[in-house]
Amino acid sequence: MAQILTTPRAVAPRAARTRHYVMCPPTQFDVVYAINPWMDPTVAVDSVAARLQWQELHDTYLGLGHRVDLLDPVPGLPDMVFAANGAVSIGTRTYGAAFAFPQRQAEAHAHVDFLRGTGREVSRPAHVNEGEGDFLVLADVVLAGTGFRTSRDAHAEAAAALGRPVVSLDLVDPRFYHLDVALAVLDDGGGEAPADIAWFPGAFSRRSRRTLRRLFPGSWECSEADALAFGLNLVSDGWNVVLPREATDLASALVPRGYRPVPVALTEFVKGGGSVKCCTAELHR
Ligand code: ARG
């Protein structure tokens, strides 16, 4: 009875918008050093499985009607498959990355060369930052993580380089060392519906939790199990949400919010500490 009397919560009208992604084939992918708690160089990567899983993700994007450009893998850079970390691009502006660990620093040059080649104006950073690993772009704001990789000073630098305000968020759990493993943009707010996110509160400081609840009332707060399954490391086009297959509760929660979950298997990349979003850089409008 109670249920009949309850007014159903209005579901925002979801609409997919065609996206432009950049991916880097995993031909060099391996785990030969450990720079996050997920990496263990004694656990072998199955390179054939990695190649197939990456291809499935790539083909999923094409099947959804998106554009995917490829960045050439560079020998000696086994984490380059995690293309999201190389820069942040909005329109013709790009803010380059400056990686925290020496093992990844050379990746930034490959991204700069590629993005300059597309006619983008690239701002070289003075501060450590790991691109879309810690900067998540919404239509009128950029959410920025700090605590493990990207420095707080980079947040202001990014705001100036990209011409969009930045909201700083403090990450406190080393398992969620980048913002894109702790928070997902489901709808960037660039269309009819308001911006919408999913996030794991345990990854953030109390102050940042308050900030997120104020900015995104009614956002989806996922379980630790979904977050540990890399569920938040997802890519949404505003309707289709490509996410790791293991994040089953999150996938179920997306449906009544009006989204269409598209599960993929990316288990080999979890050995490097990444999943869907880490493998996908977006060139934002
Ligand atoms: N092994 C990489 C690192 O620790 C993984 C990067 C994951 N990328 C991401 N966007 N979270 O730097």
Ligand 1 contacts CB of residue 181 (under 6 A): yes
Q: Which residues of the chain have a pLDDT value below 70?
A: 1-9
Euclidean distance between CA atoms 278 and 10, whole angstroms: 32
Q: What ipTM does this complex have?
A: 0.97
Give pTM, 2 decimals.
Answer: 0.96
- Which strands sit side by side in the sheet containing 93-96, from one edge to the other? 67-70, 20-23, 281-284, 87-90, 93-96, 121-123
Nearest-atom number in ligand 1 for the CA of 273 is: 5
Q: Which domains does the chain have, with CATH numbers?
A: 20-284 (3.75.10.10)
Nearest-atom number in ligand 1 for the CA of 100 is: 12
Average pLDDT of the chain to the nearest whole number: 96
Which residues is 69 bridged to in the sheet?
22
Ligand 1 contacts CB of residue 107 (under 6 A): no
What pLDDT does 13 receive?
A: 84
Task: Decide: 195 and 186 in contact? Cβ < 8 Å.
Answer: no
Residue from 23, 36, 88 whose mutation best tests the ligand 1 pocket (most atoms within 8 A of CB): 36
